[in-house]
Amino acid sequence: MRFNALALLALAVIGGTATQARAADGEQQFAELGICKLVSGEHIDHCRVGYRTWGTLNADRSNAVLFPTWFSGTTASLVDAIKPEGLVDPRKYFVIAVDALGDGVSSSPSNSATQHGTDFPAFTIQDMVNAEYRLATETLGLKHLHAVMGISMGGIQTFEWMVDYPEFMDAAVPIVGSPRPDSRDLLLYRADEDAVRSDPAFQQGRYTKPIVAPVAELIWQLNLTTPTNYARTHSVGQFESDYAKADREGIQPFDANDWLAQLDAVVHHDIAHGGALEDAAKRVKARVLVVNAAQDHMVNPKPALDFAKLIGAKTLVLEGDCGHLAPGCEAATLDPAVRAFLDGQ
């Protein structure tokens, strides 16, 4: 009896500790994954993935929604999208925002102690998704997701999820993403890579202090929105100060090697893995809502919309002139549409 009483007391203490240790909504957490094997055959040492959660798992653990980050973004950037009137309602869903590899929070060239900087192995969008799958299954103990969704590079990861783990989710919502870049996308991304590498302070990636790479940032600003939107939101009178700010700050606070690592993953992204998109389409099992912006200069919408036809997906095309920034500009249209789709409507 004494043993049983002690055992019950221990369980109560453990249970209380677990309850107390539950992270608050939006709190930064980390999954320690050990070694992350990459599709190239290389590996990431001491691999860790940052994440934040909101809401509560329901009784049958069927309401989890995984939300990976966009290019050069972190989960802190996703906070405003996760709210009752946002893209996903944490009162209904257990939302898992995930820091993609290379974002400076998860394992990245900038924060690795053993594979720092240029010694960090090249990784792919598929590697990002594989690490996120391990987070979901090994760290969070999930056997299924209600949905995967993401914006920009998060949308690109969502396309990868649909093909690589087709049985693991009920729904997928790639927003301003692509199943693979087309020639116009590659022209932009490769030019931006060259702008970073040609910066005099880059020193072939062996720099000892943060670099600015202002030309890379200016290329990005030229393509994030449309000429019409930029001219409307940035007056000629404020141009000099805007340009000086971009020239002074560049891509900071994002690390240049991290920038290149994520951008290289996007450049080499292909959900068909060298094969035909028609074959990749046959693997998709989830309900899919493909969202694109008609005037997107950053991610050409055509490959995503073509793939949507192959899989019979629903589509939503944002018609305004904000370009790649359309998810924010047209939130009044986008957010309720995504929430309804997640709810099965």
Give mean pLDDT, residues 219-244: 96
Do residues 171 and 295 both lie within one domain?
yes
Q: Are 139 and 96 in contact (CB under 8 A)?
A: no
Q: Is a pLDDT exceeding 90 seen at residue 273?
A: yes
Structural domain count of the chain: 2
171 plus 214 within the same structural domain? no
In this structure, is residue 17 part of a structural domain? no
* CATH value at residue 159: 3.40.50.1820
- Provide the pLDDT confidence category of residue 86 given band limits of 50, 70 and 90: very high
197 and 308 both lie in a single domain: no
> Could you tell me the pLDDT band of residue 17, with boundaries at 50, 70 and 90?
very low
Q: Is 8's pLDDT higher than 80?
A: no
> Given this model, what pLDDT does residue 180 score?
98
Domain-embedded: residue 12: no
Same-domain status, 96 and 65: yes
Q: In whole angstroms, what is the distance from residue 342 CA to residue 93 CA?
A: 9
Question: Within a domain: residue 189?
Answer: yes
Task: Name the percent of the chain in helix, strand, coil, to the closest 5.
Answer: 45, 15, 40
Residue that has been written with the tokens 């906070």 in this structure: 79
End-to-end CA distance of the chain: 55
84 pLDDT exceeds 80? Answer: yes
Residues 171-223 pLDDT 10s? 999 999 999 999 999 999 999 999 999 999 999 999 999 999 999 999 999 99
In a domain, 9, yes or no: no
What confidence tier does 22 reach under pLDDT thresholds 50, 70, 90?
confident
Distance CA(316)–CA(293), nearest Å, equals 8
Domain presence at residue 115: yes
- Indicate if 197 and 209 belong to the same structural domain: yes
Q: Which of the four pLDDT bands, split at 50, 70 and 90, describes residue 248?
A: very high
Is residue 250 predicted with pLDDT exceeding 80? Answer: yes
Distances (CA, A) of 280 to 33, 138, 159: 28, 26, 10
Residue 75 scores a pLDDT above 50: yes
Query: Is the same domain home to 334 and 211?
Result: no
Average pLDDT in the chain: 94
2 located within any domain? no
Last residue in a domain, options 221, 243, 262: 262
Same domain, 78 and 221: no
Name the residue with higher pLDDT: 273 or 345: 273
**Same-domain pairing of 172 and 241:** no
Largest CA distance in the chain: 82
In angstroms, rounded to a whole number, what is the distance separating the alpha carbons of residues 261 and 101? 9
Reply yes or no on whether the pLDDT at 12 is more than 90. no
Sign of the torsion formed by the C-alpha atoms of 314, 317, 318 and 323? positive
Q: Residue 5 — very low, low, confident or very high, per pLDDT cuts 50/70/90?
A: very low
**What CATH number does residue 257 fall under?**
1.10.1740.110
Q: What's the sign of the alpha-carbon dihedral 152, 157, 158, 162?
A: positive
- 276 pLDDT band, cuts 50/70/90, is very high
Rounded Cα gap, residues 81 and 10, in angstroms: 40
Across the range 34-61, mean pLDDT stands at 98
- 115's CB contacts (< 8 A; 6+ apart) are 44, 45, 109, 121
Q: What is the mean pLDDT of residues 221-232?
A: 97
Question: Closest Cα to residue 161, out of 260, 65, 81?
Answer: 65
In whole angstroms, give the CA distance from residue 245 to residue 196. 17
Q: Which domain holds residue 125?
A: 22-181+270-342
pLDDT above 80: residue 4: no
Which of 235, 262, 289 is the endpoint of a domain?
Answer: 262
CA 86/CA 82 separation, integer angstroms: 6
Question: DSSP per residue over 25-50, as a string?
Answer: TT--EEEEEEEEE-TTS-EEEEEEEE
Q: Supply 106's token pair.
A: 């998860």
Q: What pLDDT is attached to residue 118?
A: 97
Three-state SS at 88: strand
Domain identity same for 53 and 96 = yes
Distance (Å, whole) CA 27 – CA 23: 6
Give the pLDDT of residue 21: 60
Q: Would you tell me how many other CB atoms lie within 10 Å of the CB of residue 107?
A: 26
Contact 146, 95 (CB under 8 A): no
Is 334 within a domain? Answer: yes
Of the three residues 233, 262, 291, the one that is the final residue of a domain is 262
pTM confidence score: 0.93
Position 44 pLDDT exceeds 60: yes
Mean pLDDT of 250-278: 97
Q: Please report whether residue 146 resides in a domain.
A: yes
Q: Residue 345's pLDDT is what? A: 86
Query: What Å distances lie between residue 170 and 16, 61, 64, 148, 265, CA to CA?
Result: 33, 13, 10, 9, 26
Same domain, 117 and 131: yes
Same domain, 194 and 162: no
Q: Note the pLDDT tens digit of each residue in 305-334.
A: 999 999 999 999 999 999 999 999 999 999
Residues 258 and 296 in one domain: no
